[in-house]
């Protein structure tokens, strides 16, 4: 299952179950979470998946489900951890994975990623090898990492196995992550973008984007999501509003006519996806 738009569950707290159910009923077919109580309620995502199956007949297999192993530096030590932080990295990843399966009430994951590189390349490679083993066992379909802004890191991991997913901040503050984004496009790696809208307010107000949304009869966020989709980027949406959920899902059906070619070229050139 190739996700074109992913519902992000960070910061949803006690509203997670309700919002995930609403997102899927609105048309989202992919969910992102993490075994990290600091920002996510992975267990409530699992509750939502159960509710979707029991009350709405939407089976687990119909959803692209992605979660993460979060190193201790990204955890809140005052909250329950999904692993013993004194264990070796390999055992931490294995324990976190089992916690995620239990939380999400599933036997497999469509995508499992490292929430960030670890403190050293050697430690990152140790964690990466566990993901490789999980993939070889058929417990995970895709493996990757998040918050990875150095192409050399991707190449180092690929010495062990091709990275299949990268999830990064994609916004004007990092010049839309041009180098990593291009590397992913050139090498068949799914690039997932977050901060796509909130991180680029000037882009959303750009005259060319305004022209595009007016011609295409859509909103500026819809126009931007569609532009990045057509450039091979999979955006995450974390909206909490039902109206916006439906608008986001509808993005896939937006078509841009020839009269928009100059405006599209301008935006694509600006964000580095020409």
pLDDT tens digits along 28-59: 999 999 999 999 999 999 999 999 999 999 99
Percent with pLDDT over 90 in the chain:
99
Q: What is the pLDDT of residue 3?
A: 83
Tell me the torsion sign for CA atoms 127, 194, 63, 2.
Answer: negative
**Secondary structure of residue 27 in the 3-state scheme:** coil
Q: Choose among 191, 252, 240: nearest CA to 7.
A: 240
Q: Is the pLDDT of residue 25 over 70?
A: yes
DSSP 8-state secondary structure symbol assigned to residue 6: E
252 and 27 Cβ atoms separated by less than 8 Å = no
pLDDT of residue 31: 98
The mean per-residue pLDDT over the stretch 85-105 comes to 98
| Arithmetic mean of pLDDT, 179-196 | 97
Residues 179-211, buried b or exposed e (16+ Cβ, 10 A)? ebbebbeeeebbbbbbbbbebbeebbebebbeb
Query: Is the pLDDT at 217 greater than 80, yes or no?
Result: yes
DSSP annotation of 82 reads S
What span, in angstroms and rounded, lies between the C-alpha atoms of 74 and 252?
33
Mean pLDDT value of segment 232-252: 98
Q: If you write DSSP's letter for every residue of 122-147 in order, what string do you get? A: HHHHHHHHHHHHHHHTTSEEEEEEES
Per-residue confidence at 11, pLDDT binned at 50, 70, 90?
Answer: very high
Would you place residue 274 in the very low, low, confident or very high pLDDT band (cuts 50, 70, 90)? confident
Determine the pLDDT at residue 1.
62
Residue 2 pLDDT more than 90? no
pLDDT value at position 119? 95
Q: Which residues of 236-247 are buried (b: 16+ CB within 10 A; e: fewer)?
A: bbbbeeeebbbb
Strand partners for 32 = 8, 66
| C-alpha closest to that of 43 among 74, 83, 73, 13 | 13
Residues 40 and 37: their CA atoms lie apart, in Å, by: 5
Across the range 98-104, mean pLDDT stands at: 98
**Per-position DSSP letters for 216-228, written without gaps between them:** HTS-HHHHHHHHH
Average pLDDT score over the chain: 97
pLDDT digit string (tens) for 128-155?
A: 999 999 999 999 999 999 999 999 999 9
For the question of whether the overall pTM of this predicted structure is more than 0.75, the answer is yes
Per-residue confidence (pLDDT) for residue 244, from 0 to 100: 98
How far apart are alpha carbons 228 and 81 in whole angstroms? 35
Distance of alpha carbon 83 from alpha carbon 99, whole angstroms: 8
Closest by CA to 42, choosing from 71, 64, 13, is: 13
Cross-strand partners of 113: 68, 144
- Domains of the chain and CATH, by start: 6-169 (3.20.20.100)
Helix (H) or strand (E) holding 43: helix 42-56
């Amino acid at each position: 299952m190739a996700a074109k738009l992913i519902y992000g569950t960070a910061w949803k707290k006690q509203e997670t179950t309700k919002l995930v159910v609403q997102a899927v009923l609105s048309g989202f077919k992919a969910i992102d979470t993490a075994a990290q109580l600091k920002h996510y309620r992975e267990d409530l995502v699992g509750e939502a998946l159960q509710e979707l199956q029991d009350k709405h007949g939407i089976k687990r297999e119909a959803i692209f489900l992605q979660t993460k192993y979060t190193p201790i530096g990204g955890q809140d030590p005052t909250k329950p951890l999904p692993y013993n932080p004194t264990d070796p990295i390999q055992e931490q990843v294995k324990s976190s994975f089992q916690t995620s399966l239990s939380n999400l009430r599933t036997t497999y994951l469509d995508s499992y990623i490292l929430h960030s590189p670890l403190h050293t390349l050697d430690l990152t490679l140790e964690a990466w090898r566990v993901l490789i083993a999980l993939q070889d066992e058929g417990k995970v379909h895709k493996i990757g990492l998040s918050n990875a802004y150095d192409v050399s890191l991707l190449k180092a991991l690929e010495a062990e196995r091709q990275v299949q997913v990268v999830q990064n901040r994609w916004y004007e503050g990092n010049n839309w992550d041009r180098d990593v984004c291009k590397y992913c496009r050139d090498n068949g790696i799914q690039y997932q973008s977050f901060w796509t809208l909130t991180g680029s307010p000037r882009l959303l107000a750009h005259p060319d984007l305004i022209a595009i949304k007016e011609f295409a009869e859509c909103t500026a966020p819809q126009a931007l999501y569609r532009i990045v989709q057509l450039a091979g980027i999979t955006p995450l949406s974390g909206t909490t509003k039902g109206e916006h959920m439906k608008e986001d899902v509808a993005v896939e059906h937006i078509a841009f006519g020839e009269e928009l070619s100059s405006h599209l070229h301008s935006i694509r050139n600006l964000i580095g996806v020409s």
